[in-house]
Amino acid sequence: MIDAILARRSIRKYTDEPVSDEHIRAILEAAMSAPSGMNRKPWHFVAVTDREKLDRLGATTTSWGMLKEAPLAVVVCGDPGISEKYWDQDSIAALENLLIAVSMLGLGGVWLGCHPNPERVGPVREILGVPEPVVPIAVLSIGHPAEEKEPRTQYDEERVHRNAW
């Protein structure tokens, strides 16, 4: 499992091969297996395969251009109405599970930040019809990789504090 985590890399280039419905289901099932405070599960996911919507999402900001090539985006949303305290943390845990599942299935993906930037949240909400109070937290660009990156560790002993700072 550690090797799978270390192998997960941000992939921004994809082939034109679509992501199968079975893979979409598997990555969403992995996402929904994340831990959740009081088991509230305050997440929602929008799986986007519509080319026009992917292109519109890709035009939201210059750093999201890879969506114009991706066959799939999954928008991870959190619902503060379900869990007022932990909606964002729970949703991010689901997002990380989703990214690891993408990698383990031989797909590639990259996390594109959305919340708390209104210039990103607003267009995503409008393009996909995300209702209030649900918040689009991140967009994940996903596809069959057209680039390869070696596994790596980013361990940094200077960031580890034991028993106290």
Q: Which two tokens stand for residue 73?
A: 């985006």
CA dist 47 and 63 (Å) reads 20
Q: Residue 1 pLDDT more than 80?
A: no
CA dist 73 and 75 (Å) reads 6
Average pLDDT over residues 134-150: 95
Average pLDDT over residues 65-73: 97
Please tell me the predicted confidence (pLDDT) of residue 4: 82
8 A C-beta contact, residue 54 and residue 68: yes
C-beta atoms surrounding 104 within 10 Å: 16
Q: What are phi and psi of 96, to 5 degrees?
A: -65, -40
Q: Residue 110 pLDDT more than 80?
A: yes
Q: Residue 28 pLDDT more than 90?
A: yes
% the chain with pLDDT above 90: 89
How confident is the model over 71-97, as pLDDT tens digits?
Answer: 999 999 999 999 999 999 999 999 999
CA dist 18 and 82 (Å) reads 33
Residue 81, classed as helix, strand or coil, is: coil
Q: Please give the torsion angle defined by the CA atoms of residues 113, 13, 3 and 26, in that order, rounded to the nearest 10 degrees.
A: 70
Instruction: Report residue 2's pLDDT band, with 50, 70 and 90 as the boundaries.
Output: confident
Domain ranges of the chain: 14-144
8 A C-beta contact, residue 148 and residue 108: no
Please tell me the predicted confidence (pLDDT) of residue 102: 96
Please tell me the predicted confidence (pLDDT) of residue 50: 98
Q: Residue 7 pLDDT more than 90?
A: no
Please tell me the predicted confidence (pLDDT) of residue 5: 85
State the average pLDDT for the chain.
96
Please tell me the predicted confidence (pLDDT) of residue 92: 97
8 A C-beta contact, residue 133 and residue 2: no
Please tell me the predicted confidence (pLDDT) of residue 114: 97
> CATH number of the domain at 14-144, out of 3.90.226.10, 3.30.360.10, 3.40.50.300, 3.40.109.10?
3.40.109.10
